[in-house]
Amino acid sequence: MSQPETTSQPGATPQSGTTPQAGSAGPRHRLVGVPGGRIHLVEQGSGPLVMLVHGFPETWHSWRHQLPALAAAGYRAIAVDVRGYGRSSKPQDVSAYRMLELVEDLAAVVRALGEESAVFVGHDWGATIAANTALVRPDVCAVVALLGVPYSPRGGVRPSEVFARIGGDEEFYVQYFQEPGRAEAEIEADVRGWLAGFYAGLSADTMDTSGEHSLFFVPHGARMADRFPRGPLPSWLSEAELDVCAGEFERTGFTGALHRYRNADRDWEDLAPWDGAPVTQPSLFLAGAQDASVAWLADAVEAFPQTLPNLAASHLIEGCGHWVQQERPHEVNAILTDWLKGLDLPGS
């Protein structure tokens, strides 16, 4: 059932370098009713709508540096909590987290905000959600930017079969996430410590570069965290910012977030009508050069001329890992705003 919209103006603004720039009001938190329940978002600025979609394990907070920058550049920036995260709805059913459900959440947010379409900018899982929104709901997605994870069209092999082959003698992390309750038991025993290790393991300045062990593969009987680096937090993440992230997941748990991974085969079935289909909207790709996703999905990047025929540019930022918009916010903000300036956007 759809929830009524509520709004609030919290006393605190997003942390770490996100003081609103001249000409832009501070961020505003809202709850927007959608057919699947409610979506929490943080809004700043006015102008063409730019929808920011986070990945795992993050929340709207991962876009804290982009909200004021986009607002100051003349855009209405919206950072959502994806279904299962933060203050957004958290259905119990695993299948409620299939891709088509998440696409419809975001399409409903665009319309609830009084707009016909928006720019979609996604990171990690958010990039995949943004790309599929462009594919499935081109009426609401005018242009799309993908951060960290390149677009890879639905193919002929069931994902669970692919994951089994990738793992070999160990479990690929997506397999490790499949059994409800298993990964939750590991993570929720020490939410703050697990997040710190996972963020550090994928950050350019703290990741293990020896190549001996990958945190994406779990030996049988072990924990994913056993291969996390032990040491300081990444330079982009303060203790206070980690507290914000950990506080959200301490409150919500990880089940909703992990259910996204548990829908890979359902998504493959649901997206059969779009098998091999390109995303034809104007697009942009941006990632850290040290992001493992770029190496794994090198074939997807090479296929961009076919899969993203209207790609403006593909940027790899040297010395940057997976958390690109947080590790290198100034460069990301400059690339995004320069790209957006050259587009004829709805509401401009």
So what's the pLDDT on residue 223? 96
Indicate whether 21 pLDDT > 60: no
What are the CA-CA distances from residue 75 to residues 44, 217, 336 (Å)?
8, 40, 11
Who's near 202: CB < 8 A, 6+ residues apart?
215, 291, 292, 321, 322, 323
Who's near 11: CB < 8 A, 6+ residues apart?
none
Who's near 58: CB < 8 A, 6+ residues apart?
85, 123, 124, 245
Indicate whether 63 pLDDT > 60: yes
How far apart are alpha carbons 215 and 208 in whole angstroms? 9
So what's the pLDDT on residue 23? 43
Name the band, by pLDDT with cuts 50, 70 and 90, for residue 145.
very high
pLDDT tens figures, 280-336: 999 999 999 999 999 889 999 999 999 999 999 999 999 999 999 999 999 999 999
So what's the pLDDT on residue 22? 40
So what's the pLDDT on residue 7? 41
8 Å CB contact between 223 and 171:
no
Q: Report residue 262 CA to chain centroid gap.
A: 16
How far apart are alpha carbons 54 and 27 in whole angstroms? 17
What residue spans define the domains of the chain? 23-341
So what's the pLDDT on residue 212? 64
So what's the pLDDT on residue 24? 56
Mean pLDDT of 219-247: 95
Report, at the CATH architecture level, how domain 23-341 is classified: 3-Layer(aba) Sandwich (3.40)
- Whether cis (ω within 30° of 0) applies to the bond prior to 57 is yes
Indicate whether 6 pLDDT > 70: no
Pick the residue with more confidence: 172 or 19?
172
8 Å CB contact between 261 and 184:
no
Indicate whether 17 pLDDT > 60: no
How far apart are alpha carbons 332 and 310 in whole angstroms? 20
Helix spans in 213-291 (H): 239-252, 255-259, 264-270
Least confident of 79-83, 160-164, 208-212, 275-279: 208-212
Mean pLDDT of 196-209: 94
Q: Which two tokens stand for residue 293?
A: 């996703």
Nearest to 215 by CA among 323, 248, 203: 203
pLDDT tens figures, 28-52: 999 999 998 999 999 999 999 999 9
Q: How far apart are the first and last CA of the chain?
A: 33
Name the band, by pLDDT with cuts 50, 70 and 90, for residue 348.
low
Who's near 249: CB < 8 A, 6+ residues apart?
57, 187, 191, 195, 257
Q: Above pLDDT 90, what percent of the chain?
A: 84
Q: Which residues are catalytic?
A: 124, 322
Mean pLDDT of 238-256: 97
So what's the pLDDT on residue 3? 39
Whose structure tokens read 């379409």? Answer: 117
How far apart are alpha carbons 155 and 158 in whole angstroms? 8
Name the band, by pLDDT with cuts 50, 70 and 90, for residue 16.
very low
How far apart are alpha carbons 179 and 185 in whole angstroms? 11
So what's the pLDDT on residue 345? 85
Name the band, by pLDDT with cuts 50, 70 and 90, for residue 10.
very low
What type of residue sits at position 112?
A
pLDDT tens figures, 125-135: 999 999 999 99
How far apart are alpha carbons 118 and 126 in whole angstroms? 15
Nearest to 128 by CA among 102, 161, 155, 90: 102
pLDDT tens figures, 163-185: 888 877 899 999 999 999 999 99
So what's the pLDDT on residue 276? 96
Q: Which two tokens stand for residue 134?
A: 């462009």
Indicate whether 9 pLDDT > 50: no
Given strand 141-147, what is the order of strands in its sheet? 6-8, 28-34, 37-44, 76-80, 49-53, 118-123, 141-147, 283-288, 311-317
So what's the pLDDT on residue 14? 37
3-state DSSP assignment of residue 183: helix
So what's the pLDDT on residue 325? 98
Length of the chain: 348
How far apart are alpha carbons 90 and 109 in whole angstroms? 16
